Structure 1
Amino acid sequence: MTGEEKPVEEILENASDEFDASEARDEANASETDVEALKVQLEQAQDEAAKMKDQYVRAEAEMANLRRRVEKDVENAHKFGQEKLTKELLAVADNLERAIVSTEGENVDVNAIKEGVEMTLKGLQDVFSKFSIEAIDPQGEPFDPQLHQAMSMVENPEVEPNTVIAVMQKGYQLHGRLVRPAMVMVSKGGAPAAKIDETA
């Protein structure tokens, strides 16, 4: 072995050291590249997060405004929802006031007052019809506890049991929903009257 020749172990060791150093340099370069890439990704994520936060804040503000508008609309609907009905009823009130004024003279014409009240009632019934308010007048119909309120029961052999024989106060429905039941008298039926034998 000459003085310039190196043992194999030393050559391998030097090659390994050079490889390790080269690998470390590559790793350092790669980690610098990774750090730069991560910084770019972080900036992008922060920009995206800022955009999302801005959109969220805007959506929250829009929802708050919408909630306030809806609350105001509901409040106005409660306050002024019956405005149309009120306007229609004003004509009825005017007619009733005229009927009262017409009774205050010396020459009171009862027939004219009666006609005026009948016209007023007709006007009120027209208003009811416009607003889907239906009267319940069950005279002669079977008793219906969903629509009628029995005030008394009367024995009446001439009609079927549980038949409305008198209406003391009409009931009313609004769009099919019961507002007030009809107050009625209902037949019990009772025992039929004994027949008299007239041939005896």
Structure 2
Amino acid sequence: MSTPENENTPTDADVSEDAPQEAPPEEQLDTSTTEPEDMSQQLRSENADLQDRLLRTQAELENFRRRTQKEAIDAIKYQALPIIRDFLPGVDNLNRAIDAAEQTGDTQTLIDGIKMVAQQFKDALKAHSAELIDPLGDAFDPNLHEALSQVPSADHDPMTVLQVVEPGYRIHDRVIRPAKVIVTSAPPAE
């Protein structure tokens, strides 16, 4: 009884020592030369594809860097644009108030126009999160106030803001300009 493995295996009688067992020449060509050549060609193709993708990715990254850098420069360059747009109507109205006062000679019109413009400027500052620091009557805080002078007072505690010479402003928790104030000091001892 023969097994399938033994059916294709040559026996001693089938193989002679004079005739070496070799595949026909066409089969040798197919197995020995074309497979490595195909594999080599496939590897070259994959390599070229990967190099192409690498170059494209590097180019995209460089374009992204340039675009991001340009956007950052533009953001810094034009960061004041919204604020300027908000202040221009106030400047225009101030000029109109001056023109109207010159034509009519009425100072009350000028005063009313200036008050209107001042309110526009305050509204524009508030729209950009700028808060007024007006510490009249508060205790002196060196983080928010700049003391210009001290005045002796028996009516107030020492280091109380007695007068605001110039109001301060802050955005959120950062002081833009401290309020310039006059503070009290202890009265002189008698």
What is the TM-score when the length of structure 1 is the normalising length?
Answer: 0.70
Counterpart position of 1:12: none
Counterpart position of 2:97: 99
Counterpart position of 1:156: 153
Query: Tell me, which stretches of 5 or more residues in structure 2 are unaligned?
Result: 1-16, 23-30
Q: CA 1:46 to 1:161, structure 2 compared with 1: closer, same or farther past 3 Å?
A: farther
Q: Give, in whole Å, the separation in 1 of the partners of 2:150 and 2:117.
A: 34
Residue of 105, 116, 121 corresponding to 1:119: 116
Q: CA 1:39 to 1:160, structure 2 compared with 1: closer, same or farther past 3 Å?
A: farther
Aligned length: 168
Task: Show CA shifts across 1:159-181 (max 9, x none).
Answer: 11221111111111124321111
Matched, 1:178 2:175: yes
8 Å contact from structure 2 (residues 101, 109) kept in 1: no
Counterpart position of 1:169: 166
Percent identity, aligned pairs only, is 34
Deviation at 1:154, TM superposition (A): 2.2
What is the TM-score when the length of structure 2 is the normalising length?
Answer: 0.73
SS for the counterpart of 2:180 is strand
8 Å contact from structure 1 (residues 158, 189) kept in 2: no
SS for the counterpart of 1:146 is coil
Aligned pairs for 1:49-64 (under 5 A) are: 49-64=47-62
- Letter of the 1:145 partner, please give it: P
Q: Give, in whole Å, the separation in 1 of the partners of 2:130 and 2:122.
A: 9
Q: Give, in whole Å, the separation in 2 of the partners of 1:84 and 1:156.
A: 45
8 Å contact from structure 1 (residues 88, 127) kept in 2: yes
Deviation at 1:99, TM superposition (A): 2.2
Deviates more, 1:168-177 or 1:54-63: 168-177
Q: CA 1:157 to 1:41, structure 2 compared with 1: closer, same or farther past 3 Å?
A: farther
Backbone CA RMSD of aligned residues: 2.9
Deviation at 1:81, TM superposition (A): 2.4
Larger Rg: 1
Deviation at 1:65, TM superposition (A): 0.7
Query: Tell me, which stretches of 5 or more residues in structure 1 are unaligned?
Result: 1-17, 26-32, 195-200
